[in-house]
Amino acid sequence: MSDKIQPDDPLGVAVQAEKQSLLSWLRERLVAGMLIALPVVATFIILEFLINLIDSRVVPLIPPALRPETYLDYAVPGFGLLILLIFLTLLGAVATNFLGSYFVSLTDRILTRVPVVRSVYSVFKQIRDVFQSNSAGQYKEIVMVEYPRAGSWVVGFVAGPAKEEPAYRLGADFITVFVPTVPNPTSGFLLFVKESAVIRLEMSIEEGAKLILSGGLVYPPFPRVSAAPAAPGKS
């Protein structure tokens, strides 16, 4: 007798549908569990890698008499990271006074004159200068800009009003907007846009970053969704 389900067997069709439904339910729950566990597991793996990497570089520089494993039966994970944080804090405290600023400036002048070193050092120096130039000049507002063509909008971070030559060439009513790319938000496009031509959003910088990093999959909650705002200059 054949075990195949006959097309006119309603009981067999129902049993097969129930099995498929159960397998579908299990598959969906498995995928949901993996998605929930992925960021947690990835975070711990990356932290473990970074801590071990820093420990392997910093701990050998510490005299044996100051290492925890000298007095304990095991090495303390993260001890090198702790020492590095203390060192960086002290370095920052020294660099912010007059004498420290002089030595930092002297180091900049020396390293920017070494033929091979200056090409690498200048890149990281520019990144450092961006963060040191103005601690209050960080992105604090999210806007939508019509780019790259009319009717197409992107999310960007407002850096502030246009300054210096761009402001002289364009006018005082232009602002500087950084439009990051996905999935690498460290690269992007620097736009000078009329302040009246942007749509200001109420979401925070963190919420805007999540929206961009997720590729449009994670939207922050917004209660006033009954009436969508019109584009600038349109009724």
Out of 115-129, 159-173, 219-233, least confident range:
219-233
Kindly report, residue by residue over 50-91, the tens digit of the pLDDT: 888 988 888 888 888 888 888 887 788 888 888 888 888 888
Domain boundaries, the chain: 142-213
Tally Cβ neighbours within 10 Å of residue 44: 10
178/162 Cα distance (integer angstroms) = 12
Kindly report, residue by residue over 150-198, the tens digit of the pLDDT: 899 999 999 889 989 999 999 889 999 999 888 777 788 999 999 999 9
Ranges of H-type helices in 59-69: none
Q: b or e along 123-136 (b: 16 or more beta carbons within 10 Å of the residue's beta carbon)? A: eeeeeeeeeeeeee
pLDDT for position 235: 43
Task: Extract the tokens encoding 77.
Answer: 């994970």
Kindly report, residue by residue over 209-223, the tens digit of the pLDDT: 888 888 888 888 887
Stated pTM of the model:
0.47
Task: Extract the tokens encoding 73.
Answer: 């039966």
Residue percentage of the chain with pLDDT more than 70: 82
Spatial strand order of the sheet with 153-161 comes to: 188-194, 174-180, 153-161, 142-146, 199-200
Going from the C-alpha of 74 to that of each of 45, 48, 85, the distances in angstroms are 21, 17, 22
Between 208 and 93, the more confident residue is 208
